Structure 1
Amino acid sequence: MPSRTTCLLLLLLACLTSRIETIAQPVAYGNNKAAGHYLNTRGIRLYYETYGKGDPLLLFHMNGESMKVFYNQIPYFSQYYRVIAVDSRAHGRSTDASDSLSFEEMADDFNALCDSLHIDSCYVIGWSDGGISAILLALRHPDKIKKMVISGPNLWPDTTGVDPYIFHYMERVADTLHHKGALTPAEKNLLKTTELDLYQPHLTLEQLRVIQCPTMVVGGDHDAIPSLHLWQIAQNIPRSYLWIVPNSGHSVVIYKKDQFNPLVNKFFRTPCRTFEGMDRMK
């Protein structure tokens, strides 16, 4: 029969093992019952998860994905902010059975979410289509955004706003689905979200000039959105910075997270500089 000391050691080992297993379990972003919520708004159930405390920070993901793509950002930023990660309409758990989809709808969904949470203004990180939605949120509801970071957005749907290979690839996907015949619900949703990027958005450089919130425009030097297009966006938002990341494509938030996260945090927490006259030499 084991001694009292042996029993205590075995019990301690079991507790430590259980503790280690608990710590090692990753958070299931996008499927976390403890953090997940639904908002019934504008004909859909909008799914979102909240983490951390502090000033609100909204995360808007790219086309065809969900909040899960921010697995590098949620744990980092939730140390400093109340992070609200959202599944955009027709993505993730925010299902949408309608035949149409627009960036304006998405921006208005996010505004409704802010209103429901009594958020007067917030920080925003938008990646790709999420960046487009952030721009439209700043245009349609300008009081809602304190500062925003937009990584890889585009203003118009053609091969000057999207890399030609990527644009023609989306055309082939849509064409294949149109000729397939009867589509499953998942295929219908794929067609809808693909055609969103084929035919939208329709923004102008002139529209950007009314945006008042400080903005950081981000992109890879080999991004799916041409660097010239990103430069045009940054040049026409009055209080903006431009960060073109070397040796990077469209997924800066994933592959350059160690640079992206602290730089964005510093941008949010530091007053914006203006560069006029001889300040351009500094």
Structure 2
Amino acid sequence: MKHAIAILLLLITLPSVAQIRYGSNPAAGKYYAVNGVKLYVEEYGRGKPLLLIHGNGGSIEAFSKTIPYFAKSRRVIAVDSRAQGKSVDLGDSLSFEQMADDFAALLTTLKLDSVDVIGWSDGGINAILLAMRHPKKVHSFVSTGANLTPDSTALIPASWKDMQRIYAADHNKPRTTAKEKNDWKVFMLDMLQPNIPMSALQAVRCPALIVAGDRDVIVTQHTVAIQQHIPGAQLWILPNSGHATLIDHADEFNRKTDAFFRAK
């Protein structure tokens, strides 16, 4: 009887998948020093490696509906981008190229030659740049909600105007704390970047799936242009979806991206 009670208590105290706090899980988390910054990484599962890259101002937590699905069959490597989440970056500027190089350096540190990648929003931009700048590191990638320019040709007018308003109202405000400075640095990343010529996408040589919602903050024509400029890339516009494709349509997104990776 005592043995049965002890087992029951153990099961009660073990964290279930639903209780795991992705992005704040010490059992899975570790810091890696790369390119002068400290990247916070959580790993789950075993198998073929899959790198997950979140959006602007986000963290690993954004993949709370992605990690459990893929960790059943794959080694999932979820990263807080520099200056975001738990990652530490003391520099005064930020670029997508820096972050792409960070991920490449991380993969080298982990002794991984090539991985599949899922990137959302800014992470989708990072996925594209990682494939461009470090082609041997990317086997295939899914990029959802990515843009190549920080203007109204890529962002829907309302979103672009919101950013302009925030900049106009706040750019002269004093920022005295480290958090205030860091938050502004992260905001300015999307205000001024990325600046990737469509023609440069010809450098991508791996399989790519370009994704967006039909009500995304990214202009649909811009998403289509990205797909058309990447040799052999596939396009998926999710109906009845905004920017958060992998959250609001998690089951469909996971199945579709999994099938894409398995076919490559």
Matched, 1:113 2:96: no
Aligned to 1:19: 11
Indicate which of 145, 158, 169 corresponds to 1:152. Answer: 145
**Residues 1:79 and 2:87 are matched in the alignment:** no
Say yes or no: does 1:65 pair with 2:27.
Answer: no
- The equivalent residue for 2:115 is 122
Q: Is 1:177–1:191's contact at 8 Å kept on the other side of the alignment?
A: no
- Name the structure 1 match of 2:45: 52
For the residue of structure 2 that corresponds to 1:72, the secondary structure is coil
Structure 2 match to 1:133: 126
| 2:93 aligned with 1:97 | no
* 1:15 Cα offset (Å): 4.3
Q: CA deviation at 1:30?
A: 1.1
Matches within 5 A, 1:138-217: 138-217=131-210
| Partners of 1:177 and 1:187 within 8 A in 2 | no
Q: Which residue of 2 is the match for residue 268 of structure 1?
A: 261
- Is the Cα–Cα contact under 8 Å of residues 174 and 191 in structure 1 kept in the other structure? no
CA deviations 1:39-84 (Å, max 9, x no partner) are 1111111111111111110000000100110000111101121100
SS at match of 1:160: coil
- The aligned counterpart of 1:277 is none
Q: Which moved more, 1:41-50 or 1:218-227?
A: 41-50
CA displacement 1:176-199 (0-9 Å, x = unmatched): 332322443222112111111111
Q: 1:278 aligns to what? A: none
| Equivalent position of 2:26 in the other structure | 33
What is aligned with 1:5? none
- Is the contact between residue 175 and residue 181 of structure 2 (CA under 8 Å) also seen in structure 1? no
Which amino acid is 1:207 matched to?
A
Contact 1:121–1:145 (8 Å) recurs in 2? yes
> Amino acid of the residue matched to residue 109 of structure 1?
D
**RMSD in angstroms over aligned alpha carbons?**
1.6
Q: Indicate whether 1:259 and 2:239 are aligned.
A: no
The CA deviation at 1:11 is: 6.9
Q: Distance in 2 between matches of 1:104 and 1:19?
A: 45
Provide the rounded CA distance (Å) in 1 between the counterparts of 2:82 and 2:126. Answer: 11
Instruction: Provide the TM-score with structure 1 as the length reference.
Output: 0.89
Give 1:143 deviation, angstroms. Answer: 0.7
Q: Deviations over 1:61-113 (max 9, x none)?
A: 00010011000011110112110000001101112121100000000000000
- SS of the aligned residue for 2:14 comes to helix
User: Highest CA radius of gyration, 1 or 2?
Assistant: 1
Please list the CA deviations of residues 215-253 of structure 1 after superposition, one character each: whole Å capped at 9, or x if unmatched: 000100000001110000011111211000011000001
Q: Which residue of 2 aligns with 1:279?
A: none
Normalising to structure 2: TM-score of the pair?
A: 0.95
- Aligned partner letter, 1:181: P
**Which of 231, 244, 252 is residue 237 of structure 2 equivalent to?**
244
Whose relative contact order is higher, 1 or 2, with alpha carbons under 8 Å and at least 6 apart?
2
Q: Which runs of 5+ in 1 are unaligned?
A: 1-7, 272-282
Give the whole-Å Cα distance in 2 for the aligned partners of 1:11 and 1:34: 27
- What is the aligned residue count? 263
Identity among equivalent positions (%) equals 48
Aligned amino acid, residue 85 of structure 1: A
Displacement of 1:17 in angstroms is: 5.2
Shift of 1:14: 6.5
